[in-house]
Structure 1
Amino acid sequence: MSKRLLLGIVIVLLITNIATLLFWNKGETVVVEEDVKVRTNGPVASIDGESISFEDWMRDLRHANGKQQLKTMIDRTAVKKLAKKNKIEVPDKVVDRELALLTSMQGIMTKEEMEEKEAGWREDIRYRYQLEALLTKDVAIDEQKIKEFYDTYKNQYNFKAAMQMSHIVVEDKDVAEKVVKELDDGASFDLLAREYSIDEDSKKDGGYLGFITTTSQFFPSEYETVADKMKAHSYSEPIKVDKGFSILYLHQKLPSIEFTYDEIKPYVKSELALQEQGQSLTADPLWDKLDIEWIFEEK
């Protein structure tokens, strides 16, 4: 091999190594949250000139949450496997009822936000009910005790239909039609309510009324008639009400969900069994039923 060729190879290798070194020194860009990126060799915060590095941040996160997060992942996988093995399924109706309760405790959410949360909620609800069933499947509870408990608290297992609404109340139809025209042009319902509404109780909240059960005395009959025909995330034409005219915004509807004794009996039984045993809702007792190995295992 000629000296000229050998020298060329050495130069190429040297340039390649320098480029590689520069690349690694620059660090990688990672996404830590939507629209939030950081370089792995840079700081994530600075306090009066003193920086907190990405590496230090990651180390503290691992120490603080790494073990618990891994345990949570193991718990969920274990429950899923044992539930499948024992043929423990949670009917959609039960999940829907829990989902309705969770939703009714939330504020205003977009359709996209709701869909994103709903997926996680459904998974959490199934996990909880399957865990309860696995922890109590070998515990015997007297049938009469289950029935008595159900008769006393059966209403708490049902969900009453509700609508999440906002409204803008104005004094006359001309103003109401003006508001609707501005909504058609893309104006914010929240801002228009703050500007035009004469309902002082809801005006400061952008006209928001929250979730109202359709059987409530505070649910105007005119609203139910109109809202029943509306689609979620839409507004109405002016509605004649006592104070003048109202424009209604329907965020979403939650249907009525009711259970028979036989439908809810397994879940009442699990609830009573947990109480009787003084058992906390943890998957720890289930670990012995599977071959589980993890890096934090005690030696």
Structure 2
Amino acid sequence: MSKKWLVGIAGLMLSVTLVACGGKSVATTNGGKITQDEYYSSMKETSQGKQTLQQMILNKVLEKQYGDKVESSEVNAQLNKYKSQYGSQFKTVLQSQGMTEKSLKEQLRSNLLLKQAVIANTDFSDKELKKQFKDYQPKVTVNQITTSSKDKAEKVIKELDNGKKFTDLAKKYSTDSSTKNKGGRIDKFDNTNSSLDSKFKSAAFKLKNGEYTKKPVKTQSGYQVIQMVNHPDKGNYKQHTNELKEQMADSKMNDSSSLQKVVKKVLKKGDVDIQDNDLKNVLADYLK
């Protein structure tokens, strides 16, 4: 998100009358002070100011209606995923987006609250749940070894066939520096994971506990050998209703039409009263 200083000629020539305006000062200059009232009046006329108010209103009503359904641990877990993904570049990425760790956590919580609103305001039929269940996979735990060539991956598989330990081979052969010293262990994942190569997931889900891929899996990362550590029984769709609803809600979060319908319901239930006449229609696009 880029930020620009929009300072026109009129902004540089502060009128002396600004000094006489009421309200607490936001800033002072040798040409006068800028009060909270002035700043507010200026900001509310901008699209950014209106968007900020819309988000603040939505956050308030979401927190009231669904705050007890989102744990701080869930927010922290998502935050830690970003930290793990970007590593030492995490703060730099935040700065490039004009964000802080605090504002990112607030955004993550807002998204989780909105997701709960989607779940609560959506009727999931048995037909839809069954359809989602076809692609459903519970979270699995695997180890993996990444190599730069097919020959080297085949060598790893041959050594596994001869009884060598997967963890030892990961340390010896894997080019993935983030997992090789952990025996190739990666974070648990299910069918909704978007960070892993689809070929990797497909090969992994076919494995039973203790099994490893007998042929190298060609992915964007290289040639990989995968070992299944824990593959929970899939069971039937009724046993995973909550997970299925969560997955379907994630899809609806990317559908602007579905999302707007949910936001409309949430705002109406929130009994919102805009007290500034100039902003009476700030929610019009969401409530129409």
TM-score (norm 2): 0.42
Larger Rg: 1
TM-score between the two structures when normalised by the length of structure 1: 0.41
